Amino acid sequence: MEKAIICDIDGCLIDSSFLLKEGKNKGLKDLALFEYFDKNLHRAKKLKGSKKYLNLILKGNRKIIFLTARSEKTRAITYTQLNIFPPLIARGFLLKMRPENNTQSSAKYKENVLKKIMKDFEIELAVDDELTNVEMYKRNGINAKLWK
Ligand SMILES: [Mg+2]
């Protein structure tokens, strides 16, 4: 089976957390907050420390699978953002995104996708900046690293 690494995007390569803070400061929550996030995602920036993260995920010759809780609606802008990392483009990657009508927690959504990915790939490592996601990977027997 092909070896793979599962990678998160926000908080690892891209800094978008300020958008959620902005939205919350405007009194937005739930769906309205996520809509604000999606609409403003083009303002997200390369995260400081992203080079170190990139080095980690490019190491070895594993298939790179981005598993993000971002909505499918943001696929185009997400590709644009990943395009600012030339080594990633050179290697190629899969991008798994949350279907538009999916309202599961990030960990639950990622767990469902993980179970499908595990049928096709041997997951050597998963990296995420959210502890709940890292714990979910570990519960599923995956070697996982908290990125911070
Ligand atoms: Mg994240």
How many whole angstroms from 137 Cα to the centroid of ligand 1? 14
How many whole angstroms from 66 Cα to the centroid of ligand 1? 11
How many whole angstroms from 148 Cα to the centroid of ligand 1? 10
How many whole angstroms from 129 Cα to the centroid of ligand 1? 5
Would you say how long the chain is, in residues?
Answer: 148
Q: Token pair of 136, please?
A: 């979910």
How many whole angstroms from 120 Cα to the centroid of ligand 1? 24
The model's pTM is 0.94
pLDDT tens per residue, range 13-27: 999 999 999 999 999
How many whole angstroms from 49 Cα to the centroid of ligand 1? 14
Q: Locate the domains of the chain by residue range.
A: 2-14+47-146
How many whole angstroms from 90 Cα to the centroid of ligand 1? 23
pLDDT tens per residue, range 82-135: 999 999 999 999 999 999 888 899 999 999 999 999 999 999 999 999 999 999
Q: Residue 72 has what DSSP assignment?
A: G
* CATH architecture assigned to 2-14+47-146: 3-Layer(aba) Sandwich (3.40)
**Distance between CA 94 and CA 21 in Å, rounded?**
29
How many whole angstroms from 1 Cα to the centroid of ligand 1? 27
- Neighbouring CB atoms inside 10 A of 129's CB total 18
At 123 the three-state DSSP class reads: strand
